[in-house]
Amino acid sequence: MKRILFSLFSLLCIASSYAISLNGIEYTIDTLSMFPAGPGSTYYELRLLRADNGLGRLDAFLLAVDTRDPYVQVQQVLGKGKVTGCEVPSSMAKRSTTDKEIYFGGVNGDFFAYEAPVGTTIINGQYALTPFGSGGGRRHGGIDAEGRGVTAYTHTYSMKVTTPANATLDIHHVNDYRDENQLVLFNHHLGTTTGTNAYGTEVKIQLLEGETWKTTGTMKAKVLAKEENVGSMPLAAGYAVLSGHGSMQQALNQLNVGDELTLSFELRLDDELVNVAQFIGGDHYEAMILDDGKVAQSGFWNELHPRTGFGVSQTRDTIFMMVVDGRGVSKGCTTKVMAEILKHHGAWNAVNWDGGGSSCMYIRPFDQMNNGSDGKERAVTNAMFAVAHVPEVDTNVVAIAPYMPNYYLPRYGVAAPQFLGYNKYGVLVETNVTGVKLSCAPEVGEILEDGRFLATGEKGGKLVATWGDVTTELDVRISSTAPIAIRIDTVLCGPQPYKVEVEGTVGNNTVEILSSALTWSSADPTIATVDEEGNVEGKKNGMVVITGKLGTFTDQIVVKVEFPESDPLIWDDFRQASSWELKGSPTSFKPSLSVPEDPNAPVNLMFTYGSGRNPFVQLSKDSLLYSTPDKIRVPLTTNAVFEKVIVMIRANNSTTTDQITFLNPKAGEENVLEIDVKERFGDDAAIYPLRFLALKMIPTSETPKGECYVTLPGIIEVFSEQTTDLEDVTSNQSSTNVKYIQNGNLYIQTVDKIYNILGAEVSK
């Protein structure tokens, strides 16, 4: 693989670059990408590097949502739709999305234990969980009933129900364990039943028409059903259950179907009465990480970890959801540092939600945007999302925005900006808008024939993008001293030319350097030549060094040329039996290769089939395939009945072996197992040389017991994808069989007949 030649600070793609002090240490912030994620919402990908040495790095991902936008709301989702379920955030968003409610961005929420949140949880004004009294002293964040952001250092709640007999009963908690003499409120957020035992009374209630659930205020409800000493009453959306034990059971026993109840709820956030719509718990450290614009200087979580934070602007009209990566290239941060980043971007109050491997920033339709420390999304108990509420399905693009609005390129760097398309409601409906025309001043660069931008200037400037009547601008900065490099060190060159690839880095991505900007030379043109465009053409087998220069930059690539002697080419015909390792399970299969004396006759794999668990026969040979084939074919004929045949190959740029499986080859008939190399491994030149590892065959119980054969003409490489019908060939009057290539296929000609590689006769 290619050695790293880039400096740490070079070639960042930025929207702006400026300094910030985090915990007394100076950092530079570069905005790697910035685009509208949905109505009223902007997504930022930030790279923070220590200004003193560049070795400290933080990758942060921010979603800012203006709740005043008429088409956006903020909504919590529970894992698997209940408080005792876990689900990855991207699945929550996709499951919840409908044509008119589009969950387009969000982050993971509360800490959790036993697949349940640890803090008080509220969804759509309805309590989903009130554990540990009043939430265990945890900090909380969410949205009030008016759609504005809220945070709380402490919160307390009171829930009472008044009966027709004017008895007032205290509700102890919601969707948690019912203890002695307690009254518990259950609803569908718990699951399908209350899960209670038979030692109590349960009353099914429904809010009266026009009433809605709220955390502060009164509600009227009607008794629909009552069960004594049964337990586990069913739960469903639109209904709730009051479940009482002991003294509370006796109180519920006085109720009758049809009775009207008054529910009186109060929720105080830091002693202020608030009607909350969405509420998610955070950590229980001593301090709010950001409180009235002040970052906590003590009492915060002072360890470096991946983080998830929720912030609110001073006017509470904008909320901020942030993830900071950690435990990798991005080092992670303390909650103090996360608060400083949130404050820098406009937050006035903020709380710390669950971090570590749970930290996830989701943006539709790109899925997880950050690099989670687990290597994949972790299933979590809840998440908060920005949701586009729109009146209709609309896929018409009326506005565009670049995925990356500004570029910092090396001179002669090539950029192909990606443009996102939005409908009239601000919903992202197209991730790659085509037909966008770029233009720029000559002193900035030029537009190539394929529409990409080439940075030929020295200082940069504006890049104008036009799509119909819509125009937007991108900023371009150009560095004439930025280091570049040839992408790979060594390449295998076959019948087709290879164009040397030169690259620089752009944030987390790469940027192409125009190959024709370099001066190219070959150390031995008799082996391979290179033209001014960087195209390498092999002349004969061998190895040669190709050198590229641009100003003071010089780099080299080793080119190995391998021309096939024929097309197709039999890479291995199994005649060198000792070069293959044979395995069989059970060992009684005793596989062997039978090599005939006739050089034109194919080799047979022989084995004795009998009973056994997980049977297989395998031929292994760890060896490099020759040159750069387009296809690999494995022809075989057998009297065995195979469930599947597996060809094991590993690409040069991979550490993982690909197991290409062919199902149910036909017994007694010719089978050609064909692998399209580019379709399987991609068209990156770095996949070559391919490494052949094994051919594994798995018989079924339908295979006749006793001696079995597999006729194997060879492992065949095909270098030309185009084939035509067999042309007429004049018969060779010699009695000697002749092999020849015709239209990309191998044939064997006898005195009066022509056979294909499987031994089947074909027409002249």
Q: Which two tokens mark 714?
A: 């060879």
Q: What is the pLDDT of residue 30?
A: 85
| Residue 589 reports pLDDT greater than 90 | yes
Burial class (CB in 10 A: 0-12, 13-18, 19+), 473: middle
> SS3 for 707-746, per residue?
EEEEEECCEEEECCCCCCCCCCCCCCCCCCCEEEEECCEE
Burial annotation 502-512 (CB, 10 A radius, 16+ → b, else e) = bbbbbbeeebb
Going by pLDDT thresholds of 50, 70 and 90, the confidence category of residue 55 is confident
Residue 455, C-beta contacts closer than 8 angstroms, at least 6 positions apart: 407, 409, 410, 411, 412, 413, 414, 415, 444, 445, 476, 478
What are φ and ψ of residue 472, in 5° steps? -140, 165
Residue 86, C-beta contacts closer than 8 angstroms, at least 6 positions apart: 79, 80, 112, 115, 379, 380, 381
C-alpha to C-alpha distance for 557 and 618, rounded to whole angstroms:
38
C-alpha to C-alpha distance for 249 and 277, rounded to whole angstroms:
30
Q: What is the pLDDT of residue 742?
A: 54
Mean pLDDT on 257-273: 97
* Nearest alpha carbon to residue 141 among 314, 301, 265, 269: 269
pTM: 0.77
Q: What is the pLDDT of residue 663?
A: 95
Report pLDDT digits (tens) over 496-532: 999 999 987 654 456 899 999 999 999 999 999 999 9
Place of tokens 């220590």: 50
Whether the bond into 689 is cis, omega within 30 of 0 = yes
Report pLDDT digits (tens) over 605-662: 999 999 888 999 999 999 999 999 999 999 999 999 999 999 999 999 999 999 999 9
For CA atoms 446, 452, 457, 461, the dihedral sign is: positive
Report pLDDT digits (tens) over 523-566: 999 999 999 999 999 999 999 999 999 888 899 999 999 999 99
Mean pLDDT on 425-454: 96
Report pLDDT digits (tens) over 77-102: 999 999 999 999 999 999 999 999 99
* Adjacent-strand bridge partners of 223: 205
C-alpha to C-alpha distance for 37 and 29, rounded to whole angstroms:
21
Q: What is the pLDDT of residue 745?
A: 54
Going by pLDDT thresholds of 50, 70 and 90, the confidence category of residue 5 is very low
Provide the pairing of β-strand 553-561 with 569-572: unpaired
Going by pLDDT thresholds of 50, 70 and 90, the confidence category of residue 732 is very low
Q: Which pairs count as long-range contacts for 501-504, CB under 8 Å and 24+ apart, including other chains?
A: 501/685, 502/534, 502/548, 502/555, 504/6, 504/10, 504/11, 504/409, 504/410, 504/413
Residue 35, C-beta contacts closer than 8 angstroms, at least 6 positions apart: 42, 43, 401, 402, 403, 405, 420
Q: What is the pLDDT of residue 31?
A: 87
* Nearest alpha carbon to residue 563 among 499, 508, 493: 493
Mean pLDDT on 382-394: 98
